[in-house]
Structure 1
Amino acid sequence: MQTKKKRRFEMPDAFVIIFGILVLAVLLTYIVPAGEFQREEVDGRNIVIDGTYERIESQPASLLSTFTSIQQGLVDSAPIIFMVLIVGAAVAVIDHTGAINSGVNALISKTKNQKYLLVAAFISIFAILDFFGISGNVIIAFIPIGIVLARALKLDPIVGVAMVYLGQYVGVATGTFDPVITGLAQSIAELPLFSGWHLRLTAFFILIIITMIYILRYVKRIEKDPSKRIITFAETDGGVQGPVEEFGPFTGRHKVVLLTALVFMGSFIYGVFKMEWSTNELAGIFIMMSIAVAIVGRIHMNDFVKVFIKGAQDIVYGALVIGLARAVVVVLENGKILDTIVSAAVQPMAEMPMFLAAESMFVFNLLFNLIITSGTGQAAIVMPFMVPLADMLDITRQTAVLAFKMGDGITNIIAPTSGVLMAVLAIGKVPYAKWFKFVLPLVLMWSVVGLIMVAIAVMTGYN
């Protein structure tokens, strides 16, 4: 007898999901009318001028341009793609010295294996960093530390990524004292920098509590029943590393290696604030760091090259996903339909009651962020409309900034078009489908908090 096996539904690969979104974007260029706003340059950024929208000749994507958009997406994303490859390579060099594993295990030993405390501490550290807008893209460099900690605590890669990345995005979503994205939004709204911080601070504490409970409940669940892990280390790297004792003692050389890495990371954070460094400088810093670590760790030059190349090879998959995600935006921009989408969304808000319009601002930013995941890019496009709309509806401009900021930050933790998210998942070797399954309930919870915060802002005349 032949037995017919039922085929279980399998979540598509990240490439399949994003290519499907790309096809949808191509179809939209045939359906949505083309149009554009005039723009003016303010402090080096192209800011949309409200009231200047006009229809232009349709420019739908052709079959060839659909596929060349992938190449263009890779070219446009080259700084972050190569930065990810270099970060992966440099981390592999540090990992080769054994410093990260031994250091994490020494930390676990000092805290007497208090895994809940350690996970909560990591979430708090990265939330506080972006509370002040510090980490940004550099968060990618900390993912390996989260992964090593999760492995040493006998958890899974999801926890390793979540306690670093979700911690960061608690800070991003609220932007309490973020001088870049919150600063730009408030500048466009002609508000004092960091004004209205008290409500954003309240949102910060609510989100960090929800996020900690959510992650720690998952930790508790997989501790009780390991079969409930969404993904295992065996799936990501072919086998779980040995028990804690096999990593060896945390030696003086290990300490010097980690101190060397810390000095280079610290120099980059300093450069971000003092010299406006970005992804190119981060890549350069990590190349320098890998060489310095190799010298301190006494790695032979030929071995250094092999380890460096192998580290880059391990995350090529994720690096290519970043380029494919960017291709979606390339199609929408070349088809000239992004401005049409914004114009069509903003006009109905002007006819809504004040309370509903404010909530609609938040929901619009929440969804628009799936297309434009850059906070500054979204602020430059959206805030010029939010400000006059808020004035017309008698909503405070501070409320408009809050609706933008929370909408901008929340969906970044799930958007497949986010280059940073795809880079983080590439470093952590977590498939997008697995991450989506884990993080979707949290996105919904954060969104409810956003709706409540905007409602409070409207009712209190937030200013």
Structure 2
Amino acid sequence: MEKKKFKIPHTFVIIFALIVISALVTFFVPGGEYVKVEHTDQNGITKQALEFRYIDNQPQSWQVLTAFYKGFTRQAGIIVFILVIGAAFWVVNSCKAIDAGILSFLRVIKKLEKVRWLNFIGVNNIVIVLIMLMFSLFGAIFGMSEETIAFTVLLIPLAISMGYDSIVGVSLVYVAAHVGFAGAILNPFTIGIAQDIAGLPMFSGIEYRFVCWIILNIITISYILWYARKVKRNPSKSPMYEEDAYWREKAESEENIIEYHTPKSGWWSYFIALGTLIIFSVYNPHTSIKIGNSVTDIPFFIPFLTLLFAIFGFLSLRKSIHFFVLNLLFFTIIFLVAGVMGYGWYIGEISALFLALGILSGIAANYTANEIVGKLVEGAKDILSAALVVGLAAGIIVVLEEGKVINTLLHEMSLAMNEAGRVGSLGAMYMIQTFINL
């Protein structure tokens, strides 16, 4: 009788098991909460502090099932964001714009490989390093995190077409941005908040964090280059070999024989986008770019970007609808960065931006309204499992919070770290935070 090979459980099974374990914890761990308490020091100054107190726990049983609903409602913004990203890129991909962009990019790489010194270093290596450094800076300066999802969808097929796998594609964007997030040179969401709470000068110690950021990037990029080289030599060694078969086959098939053309609908899409940008420029002639704690006012920034779109949109349409859709994608990314840094955009505004990308791409490709909606729905279906993971995982925290035990667990961890000394507690905090993130 043949032994069955062990299979890693489905992601949903793992998450459900963690929720059940969390529910069991609520039966044995006492409840706790932090309350604000006022203290008056010797100088008569009253200060507020958080004080931990034990309370009755609330064991969770059938509430395990309601945790899913509450997890989805809590993470509704990110879930919708993921669905919109998948929907928009499905439309873009159906226009074969990404295929055209990848083919053009690969042609440029082949030309650059003829340059002796570039070929010695490795053009692909240069591409990997530059892309990872760019996204690492985004994470270090303005805390790019969830926004990387949009870029991941774009760069995975590019990485596979270059002879790598989807792990390299994810690393180019997601891993790089979070390495930058960890280095946190000017990250307002980590360093800014933490130093404000601690009463330290804002963004002090930037030199130390910059050195840490460089070290983290050297280690990460070196590993990705080593891994990418190994996969390119023998693609079958990739753990994603079977999963990446679709993109490999697509790159090798005759589907990449693209008929370049520009239908009249492309011009309609161009003028709709340009008109919208002109209106936005009229009401927002000046932009205040926030980098860390500093604010720089840039006059006529949005009007300037609108002018660039008008020029490059016109030129790309003269060439082909595929390059116009790529132009739309490029300026979507530009306006995403401008919106986050200049106008405080977050998931809601970014979702709207990519929804506009999907609709305008569909119009440009001469799709009917029903066809655009159909492709948006197909794209949302394709990425639905990733969106479900976000909602399900949030259920773990819901169970611990409603069981009133999460603060008790954090309190006991803090007591254990206090006994380890300053250096030991720093390491312990890092490990605990890493475990919680996982």
Q: TM-score range by the shorter chain?
A: 0.7 to 0.9
Displacement, 1:357?
3.1
* Partner residue of 1:10 out of 7, 12, 15: 7
- Whole-Å separation in 1 of the counterparts to 2:430 and 2:243: 40
Displacement, 1:303?
2.3
Counterpart check, 1:302 vs 2:375: no
- Whole-Å separation in 2 of the counterparts to 1:363 and 1:134: 21
The equivalent of 1:360 in structure 2 is: 428
The equivalent of 1:105 in structure 2 is: 103
Decide which structure has greater strand share. Answer: 2
> Which amino acid counterpart does residue 313 of structure 1 have in structure 2?
K
SS in 2 for 1:53: strand
1:245–1:121 CA distance, 2 compared to 1 (3 A): farther
- Which deviates the most, 262-271 or 335-344? 262-271
> Which amino acid counterpart does residue 357 of structure 2 have in structure 1?
M
SS in 1 for 2:147: helix
SS in 2 for 1:137: coil
The equivalent of 2:86 in structure 1 is: 88
> Which amino acid counterpart does residue 233 of structure 2 have in structure 1?
K
CA contact (8 A) 1:131 1:174 kept: yes
Displacement, 1:351?
3.4
- Whole-Å separation in 2 of the counterparts to 1:225 and 1:6: 29
Counterpart check, 1:227 vs 2:236: yes
SS in 1 for 2:212: helix
Q: Which is higher, the Rg of structure 1 or of structure 2?
A: 2
- Which deviates the most, 254-263 or 203-212? 254-263
- 1:256-267 equivalence runs, <5 A: 256-267=324-335
- Which deviates the most, 225-234 or 197-206? 225-234
1:341–1:189 CA distance, 2 compared to 1 (3 A): same
TM-score, structure 2 as length reference: 0.76
The equivalent of 1:29 in structure 2 is: 26
- Whole-Å separation in 2 of the counterparts to 1:55 and 1:324: 29
Displacement, 1:50?
4.3
* Partner residue of 2:63 out of 49, 65, 68: 65
C-alpha root-mean-square deviation of aligned residues, in Å?
2.3
CA contact (8 A) 1:233 1:239 kept: no
The equivalent of 2:338 in structure 1 is: 270
- Which deviates the most, 93-102 or 324-333? 93-102
SS in 2 for 1:118: helix
1:39–1:276 CA distance, 2 compared to 1 (3 A): farther
Counterpart check, 1:143 vs 2:152: yes
Give 5+ residue unaligned stretches, structure 1: 41-48, 371-414, 416-463
* Percent identity of paired positions between Structure 1 and Structure 2: 30
- Whole-Å separation in 2 of the counterparts to 1:324 and 1:126: 28
CA offsets, 1:369-423, max 9 Å, x none?
A: 33xxxxxxxxxxxxxxxxxxxxxxxxxxxxxxxxxxxxxxxxxxxx2xxxxxxxx
Counterpart check, 1:316 vs 2:379: no
> Which amino acid counterpart does residue 220 of structure 1 have in structure 2?
R
Counterpart check, 1:287 vs 2:331: no
Counterpart check, 1:343 vs 2:341: no
Counterpart check, 1:123 vs 2:123: no
- Whole-Å separation in 2 of the counterparts to 1:260 and 1:226: 33
SS in 1 for 2:186: coil
Displacement, 1:264?
2.8
- Whole-Å separation in 2 of the counterparts to 1:330 and 1:266: 36
TM-score, structure 1 as length reference: 0.72
- Which deviates the most, 261-270 or 117-126? 261-270
CA contact (8 A) 1:155 1:223 kept: yes
- 1:149-188 equivalence runs, <5 A: 149-188=158-197
CA contact (8 A) 1:134 1:269 kept: no
The equivalent of 2:204 in structure 1 is: 195
1:101–1:235 CA distance, 2 compared to 1 (3 A): closer
Displacement, 1:151?
2.3
CA contact (8 A) 2:84 2:354 kept: yes
Q: How many matched pairs?
A: 358
- Which deviates the most, 129-138 or 356-365? 356-365
Displacement, 1:350?
3.0
